Copies of this chain bind each other. A is one copy, B any other.
């Protein structure tokens, strides 16, 4: 299993119960690393990944944060028709505040089967749960609720260990960075996690019906996270490729995944995804609700929406994007924009508001929505339905009017101890990015910010993963807790497997650049390890420490395919006779040897001249040939 090229899609029939070869996912360790588990109190085992370096380097393995779940564990057996093991099952049940109830019966419209053609559906997930959990009456099962009661949950313990990755080593180095008011501790304790969750500064999205998930935190005093969107639509895609995309996205580092499916088979697709996902899954429930009313926005109502929330809550969705901030009076503010309302959820609600000339039912029923959320511990991702869709519309009246309403709703959610994060834009030129963060912190009392990019120019369709990574790295630095990825297909088409990978890796590097700039105490460990490997021509270590070892090696091999080139002390950019790294190694060796003697002599007239002559002779004696083998 470990031998197959992880960059290739799995051959049909390679894994588990293949269901005709259609439902296969990529497994096996990421090149050059292995899954480890760090033990914590109460028998918790926190998954990480360790990159092992060449023995000759004398360097210790480099631990890296790893959301890829059991799929990259050489020891794990994967059967996607059964789903993942229930890591959190006992933690959830032992708190004594949940009860089992029969799962809501799946209705035809849950899968969008309204039209005459009912063929072509996907098979339901075979191992679906008949009994689901919810809070006992008058109980609240949110992590925020526990946190505020002073309880440190196993989820918080897990997060603390997970976030500390390498931080022990980092304690020996001076802190650096500009955090814009974030308060990143030297070391993450479970108590720190509890406190951050209690204040609403961080969330741990994990629905009690998604016990397969490995707990993770989203907050500006933790590592910057990234989200990958997947999902079919009416035009393309199918369930097999969506499950595969989820596994593929987390393999490369997605911390959460949003299933944005529309069209048919929404319910069944989601069940397959959640049962096999070790990361929190988010959705936009209004998409499914709209399908249930045949795509007619004005036919939406609270009952259909609430029923959809229950349906998804019972399946285990961990956070809901809800566009409760698109209020009736804000809609006309978007009328003179260059690109109007670009959020799907936002435009649906705007249309509903105008059609009925009523205030949004999401806004009016917000307390009732909270009642549902807290019975399952689903986090809000308060949607920015009025986000700007172009540079021209950035930071306008409509956008900020909605943001301050999201702040108001945050406080309402917190009154019920429901976890909240806030979605942000979108398209914003660099000089207007900071204002987004500043206003969000102010409006939403440091609830985590979760932005899409932002794209820093509109003129590069086909490269919007890059236009947006530029904005994402900056807003991450300023304090955004999670960055929603953008793929090269943004604005143009549906991302395929390659696009998902490029999007994820691009956002991982942007998030990491932000962690470095914020002064995260352990972030630079990986940069330094890679740079040392580069300087010492440990090519394989360079590849393996990269966010994408396969691509790094492949690019190297395009120019120098010979196996020997991977241990060569030169590279294709300069060739064997002309390598600056090689020369500067010599400079270093020489300088180290002579440094004390150089001392004050330099630039000191006659004496300097004499000293230089002397040094020069020593250097020549020492063998100044350029191409001495190092070994």
Contacts and interface: CB of A to CB of B under 8 A. Distances in A.
A560 B493 contact: yes
A493 B603 CA distance: 40
B574 A344 contact: yes
Interface string A410-443: 0000000000000000010111000000000000
A547 interface: yes
A460 B516 CA distance: 14
Given A506-B466, A510-B470, A583-B348, A591 B331 contact: yes
Contact of A578 (B234, B354, B509): B234
Contacts of A474: 430, 470, 474
Interface in A460-511: 460-463, 465-467, 469-470, 473-474, 477, 488-489, 491-494, 496, 505-506, 508-510
Nearest to A340: B584
A332 B603 CA distance: 14
A351 interface: yes
B355 A477 contact: no
Contacts of A616: 355-358
A581 interface: yes
A575 B491 CA distance: 12
A461 B390 contact: no
A519 interface: yes
Nearest to A345: B580
Given A460-B509, A462-B548, A603 B477 contact: no
A77 interface: no
A553 B290 CA distance: 30
Contact of A354 (B335, B524, B615): B615
B340 A581 contact: yes
A542 interface: yes
Interface in A586-631: 586-588, 590-592, 595, 598, 602-603, 611-616, 619-620, 624, 626
Which of the four size classes fits the interface of chain A?
35 or more
A513 B430 contact: yes
A84 interface: no
Given A473-B470, A493-B571, A587 B528 contact: no
A479 to B, nearest CB: 13
Nearest to A559: B493
Given A340-B584, A354-B619, A516-B430, A527 B392 contact: yes
B612 A356 contact: yes
A324 to B, nearest CB: 16
A555 B334 contact: no
A235 interface: yes
A343 interface: yes
Contact of A509 (B298, B351, B463): B463
Nearest to A434: B178
A467 B507 CA distance: 10
Contact of A558 (B343, B357, B493, B559): B493
Interface string A229-264: 000011110000000000000000000000000110
A585 interface: yes
A418 to B, nearest CB: 26
Contacts of A358: 612, 616
A513 B578 contact: no
Copies in the complex: 2
A456 B513 contact: yes
A346 B616 CA distance: 19
Nearest to A341: B584
Given A262-B575, A339-B535, A551-B462, A350 B619 contact: no
B347 A295 contact: no
A334 B578 contact: no
B595 A332 contact: yes
Contacts of A45: none
Contacts of A427: 531
A322 interface: no
A120 B513 CA distance: 45
A325 interface: no
A524 B571 CA distance: 41
Contact of A338 (B235, B298, B456, B532): B532
A57 interface: no
Given A391-B528, A493-B573, A344 B578 contact: yes
A584 B350 contact: yes
Given A354-B615, A469-B466, A509-B457, A341 B587 contact: yes
26 contacts: A176-B429, A176-B431, A235-B575, A262-B578, A297-B626, A338-B531, A338-B532, A339-B535, A340-B581, A341-B580, A347-B580, A355-B616, A356-B616, A430-B516, A431-B519, A456-B513, A460-B547, A462-B548, A462-B555, A463-B551, A466-B509, A470-B474, A489-B555, A492-B572, A493-B571, A496-B558
Given A235-B560, A339-B532, A389-B581, 18 more contacts: A233-B574, A236-B572, A332-B598, A340-B581, A357-B615, A392-B524, A392-B527, A430-B477, A459-B527, A459-B547, A461-B542, A462-B554, A465-B466, A466-B506, A492-B552, A493-B557, A493-B572, A494-B559
Sorted nearest first, the 9 A-B pairs with minimum C-beta distance are: A357-B612, A340-B584, A234-B575, A493-B559, A390-B531, A430-B517, A341-B584, A335-B591, A347-B583
